[in-house]
Copies of this chain bind each other. A is one copy, B any other.
Amino acid sequence: MDIPQPYLLFIGDVTDPLAAKTARGIHAWRPEQCIGQLRLDGCDVTLDLPDLSLSEALAQGAKTLVLGTANAGGFLPEHWLVSIREAIRAGMNVASGLHQRLTDIPELVELATRYQVQLFDVRHTKEALKVGNGKARTGKRVLTVGTDCAVGKMYTSLALEQAMKACGMSVDFCATGQTGILIAGSGISIDAVVSDFISGAAERLSPDNDANHWDIIEGQGSLFHPSYAGVSLGLLHGSQADWLVMCHEMGRPYTRHLPHHPLVSLADCIAENLHCARVTNANVQLAGIAVNTSSFPEQQARDYLAQLTTQFNVPATDPVRFGINDIAEFLLHHG
């Protein structure tokens, strides 16, 4: 899936700032790929991007209209079809992170064929995948893993990519979820592939590369999450990571959405991830720990991170609060 950039970000008429999380993520991480925003009447959310019409955006080089919003059911509001049709007729591709597929709407498929543009349903992969084979690949790989869902694996991956670039390293972010794919313009939504192909999809996501090139692979779920561990393990095996960065939320007591399921300890989670990763890469090591400390005062957060650094002998940081340069430099010197 390769989505032509730059984008015009469509926010529709959402009124909840959280609903525009995806669009906001794209703008935050790839500002140079965002030409403007397209809003409908009644929308009071803004990304601090210029409001552009389709023709204005096209004139400035926009190649894809991105539906950068989320709603509960993941469905496409019918009145948004007006803008989508108009974009297609104007020659713009359309990308959507919604569950409901653009390509399931025959009218849009016909229109896209007629106007020779592409429709991207980033939650669904159309690629013919192979099962994984576990064969070693060239190049270097970092995978973000976690004690749970929603502990900052995408943020950590993108921040690390940025910090490693600043160190002069050759590095790419490999997206495995819909927001990441829209940010990168490519990737595979790993939890949407048929389960036989999880590790095969991960292998395809970070193919052979130059010996000194780094792929930073966006992790998903957790080996200890009863809902998603299969995805996490297939991704871990297929990634063949040389280095893991463990993501965690300080003080989180239970697994997300499962209040009957206490969170695994950080030490157990690190040990298990390294153990499982060795199935496809005997030399895998821990490169750092990225912690969301936002529920705690700064000094308490600093003390906790210092303790983790001592305990695990790698940099521990909160990438949002304190940056992630320590982990980038660790990889520069040890990788």
Contacts and interface: CB of A to CB of B under 8 A. Distances in A.
A24 interface: no
A243 interface: no
Contacts of A208: none
B196 A194 contact: no
A191 to B, nearest CB: 4
A193 interface: yes
A229 B196 contact: no
B230 A198 contact: yes
Nearest to A201: B195
A223 B131 CA distance: 15
A200 interface: yes
Given A194-B193, A196-B192, A229 B237 contact: yes
Nearest to A124: B194
- Chain A: interface size category: 35 or more
Contacts of A264: 279
A41 B276 CA distance: 52
B280 A226 contact: yes
A91 interface: no
B191 A195 contact: yes
Contacts of A28: none
A170 interface: no
Most buried by B among A190, A199, A223, A272: A199
Interface stretch (A79-87, A132-140, A299-307): A132-140
Nearest to A231: B195
Contacts of A200: 227
B280 A134 contact: no
11 contacts: A132-B227, A134-B226, A134-B258, A195-B198, A196-B227, A199-B228, A199-B229, A226-B238, A229-B234, A229-B237, A229-B276
A125 to B, nearest CB: 11
Nearest to A190: B195
A135 B272 CA distance: 22
A224 interface: yes
A333 interface: no
A243 B275 CA distance: 23
A165 interface: no
A132 B260 CA distance: 13
Nearest 10 CB-CB pairs, A to B? A230-B234, A134-B226, A198-B230, A191-B196, A230-B230, A195-B195, A131-B227, A132-B227, A233-B233, A230-B233
Contacts of A194: 191-195
A279 B229 contact: yes
Nearest to A234: B230
A261 interface: yes
A228 B192 contact: no
Contacts of A230: 195, 198-199, 230-235, 237
Interface in A245-281: 255, 258, 260-261, 264, 272, 275-276, 279-280
